[in-house]
């Protein structure tokens, strides 16, 4: 009974923290499966719609040392599209094979796996990055049972995925910085063309 009570208390703390950090207004909450919900606000960073999972943090990973370990929730944003299925599907995938750290990890074909065919044609993959666009979420939330590290799942075009595989994470982050791309715009052009040697 104590374990269930502790988990419920942790989830309440996570929800309260995300509610403040995601954006303005009270988040809407949708339960997508037992133990997993998606929170959504319409006025996140620079006015983007923001979505976050709640419940993935209760899933340990194989190298989880127990008390104080890093646990994760997923955050994503768009200029209009509903990303509820996007973050929920990513959570389902991670729950089956969760490995830390997540930064730099690509979830291949996440859009089609989420049943989002329109998005799959332009941004089929997702890349986990630190949640820099959300000022309140940059610093992890330290709870008695674990440390919550929210991760930004950025939709990734196929040419960008090839660039990442060919050049590595540091080069990709530099490309992201130099391009000043709006990562929440799901109708943007890819930051690179098909050739990975393009500058």
pLDDT at 196: 46
- Cα dihedral 101, 83, 27, 149, rounded to 10, equals 0
Among the listed residues 72, 126, 143, 127, the one whose alpha carbon sits nearest the alpha carbon of residue 101: 72
Q: Looking at residue 53, what DSSP letter applies?
A: E
pLDDT of residue 68: 62
Residue for token pair 């104080």: 68
User: Do the Cβ atoms of 27 and 39 come closer than 8 Å?
Assistant: yes
pLDDT of 97 reads 73
Residue 122 has which token pair? 């332009």
Q: Which two tokens stand for residue 100?
A: 């830390």
CA 171, chain centre distance (Å): 21
The answer, as to whether pTM is greater than 0.95, is no
SS3 90: helix
Please report the pLDDT score of residue 197 as a whole number.
Answer: 46
Tens-level pLDDT at each residue, the chain (199 residues): 346 778 899 999 999 999 999 998 889 999 999 989 999 999 988 899 999 999 999 887 666 656 668 889 999 999 999 999 999 999 999 888 766 678 899 999 999 999 999 999 999 999 999 999 999 999 999 999 899 999 999 999 999 999 999 999 999 999 999 999 999 999 999 999 765 444 4
> Tell me, what's the pLDDT at 46?
85
3-state SS assignment for residue 12? helix
């Amino acid at each position: 009974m104590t374990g269930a009570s502790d988990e419920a208390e942790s989830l309440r703390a996570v929800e309260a923290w995300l509610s403040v950090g995601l954006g303005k207004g009270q988040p809407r909450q949708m339960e997508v499966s037992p133990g997993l919900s998606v929170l959504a606000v319409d006025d996140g960073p620079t006015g983007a719609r923001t979505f976050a999972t709640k419940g993935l943090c209760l899933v340990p990973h194989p190298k989880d040392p127990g008390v104080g370990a890093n646990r994760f929730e997923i955050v994503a944003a768009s200029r209009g599209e509903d990303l509820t299925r996007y973050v929920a599907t990513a959570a389902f995938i991670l729950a089956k094979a969760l490995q830390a750290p997540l930064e730099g990890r690509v979830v291949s074909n996440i859009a089609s796996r989420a049943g989002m065919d329109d998005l799959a044609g332009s941004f089929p993959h997702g890349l986990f990055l630190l949640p820099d666009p959300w000022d309140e979420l940059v610093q992890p939330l330290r709870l008695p049972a674990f440390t919550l590290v929210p991760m930004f799942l950025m939709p990734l075009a196929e040419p960008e995925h090839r660039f990442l595989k060919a050049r590595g994470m540091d080069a990709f982050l530099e490309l992201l910085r130099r391009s000043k791309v709006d990562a929440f715009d799901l109708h943007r052009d890819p930051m690179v063309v098909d050739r990975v040697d393009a500058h």
